[in-house]
Structure formats: C-alpha cells, structure tokens
Amino acid sequence: MSISDAVMHLPERSTYAIRIASPGFNNLRKFQLENSPLYVKIVEYVFDDADDLYRPEGALMFDEDIADRMLEDFEFHKDDCDSLLVHCSKGQNRSPAVAIALNEIFGLGNDTESIRREYPEYNRLVYSLLKRVAKKR
C-alpha cells in the first residue's frame, strides 16, 4: 500500500501495521494513520528502497538487524490481529516485498503468486533477507 492509501485506510478488523520510510524523506509523523482502536500495533522502519542492482551512495540498506526486529515483533503480535497493513512511499517495492515474505514465513493465507504478479517490482533484497533471517530463527 502507498502512504496516501494507508492514511486514508480505516481498518475493519484488528490490524497490525508496518510503516516503511526512507531516511531522507521520513514523513511518517506528518502523515499519521487514522486513529482507530483496531490497530493492534503500528511499527515504523526506516530504510531506502535499494537493492543489489540499485544502491545509491549513502543508502540506508535493509539488513539482517532490521529483518530480525521486523520478524520478532510481528511474531509476537500476529495472533492478536486479523489483518496486516504494510506501506511505504509508493507501495510498489518495499511494502510488497515485506508482505510477500511475511505471508510465506507465517502462512498468513494470501496468494503469494497473485501478489507477485500485482507488484512485479517488489524489492528482492528485502524479500530474500527476511526469508533468510527467518530460516535462522
């Protein structure tokens, strides 16, 4: 989901939200999610939309530490929610990668292949690191 879609979204059931921002454009505080008691937990992560093919100088890369924190926190709260919302700026690279990986790792029941088709430019580095760190746990 994009940031504009996320701020307009009003959850209909208990929802765990993951917000992803770029370090130079951390606008999450400016664009708050709707105030709803249905948000079980809202977590924020900051890293650039970069991978092995596109790595601008000074980029804050998604790494194993971020992946481990993301997995640990979601695992702790996943049984308290019925829905997962993941958003970044455009909702095309980082957030689909996280959603696909969490769906596969935790068996959330969504059709991974349809998500991949809908978001063919999902960030492969984010996806693969989440999967690799999950295997180590």
Give the pair of three-digit tokens for residue 19.
């917000």
Eight-state DSSP code of residue 34? P
Per-residue pLDDT of the chain (137 residues), as tens digits, is 999 999 999 999 999 999 999 887 766 777 889 899 999 999 999 999 998 888 888 899 999 999 999 999 999 999 999 999 999 989 999 999 999 999 999 999 889 999 999 999 999 999 999 999 999 98
Long-range contacts, 120-123 (Cβ 8 Å, 24+): 121/92, 121/93, 122/92, 122/93, 122/96, 122/97, 123/49, 123/51, 123/62, 123/93, 123/94, 123/96, 123/97
Q: Give the CATH number, domain containing residue 100.
A: 3.90.190
Contacts of 127 (CB under 8 A, 6+ apart): 97, 98, 100, 101
Give the chain's domain count. 1
Domain extent, residue 64, equals: 3-136
Contacts of 14 (CB under 8 A, 6+ apart): 38, 40, 80, 81, 82, 83
pTM for the model stands at 0.93
